[in-house]
């Protein structure tokens, strides 16, 4: 699964890790992360993330 990086702070969302502290289970693909989820470090929305290379 692809990782996605926050364009603002550099946080990387890794689907294998998820974000359980914020309601996203391990193994959750990026497209299945809820639209209202925000970056746990800087608080921006999913629209501020790009595919990590």
d(CA 32, CA 47): 14
Helix (H, G, I), strand (E, B) or coil at 47: helix
Q: What is the model's pTM?
A: 0.93
- pLDDT value at residue 36: 97
Residue 53 has pLDDT above 90, yes or no: no
Residue 43 has pLDDT above 90, yes or no: yes
Average pLDDT across the chain, whole number: 97
State mean pLDDT over 16-38.
98
Q: What is the dihedral of CA 15, 17, 20, 22, to 10 degrees?
A: -60
E-strand stretches of the chain: 4-6, 12-13, 49-51
State mean pLDDT over 36-53.
97
d(CA 40, CA 53): 20
């Amino acid at each position: 699964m692809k990782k996605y990086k926050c364009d603002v702070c550099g946080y990387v969302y890794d689907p294998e890790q998820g974000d359980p502290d914020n309601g996203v289970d391990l193994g959750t693909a990026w497209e299945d992360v809820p639209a209202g989820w925000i970056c746990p470090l800087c608080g921006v929305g999913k629209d501020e993330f790009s595919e990590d290379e």
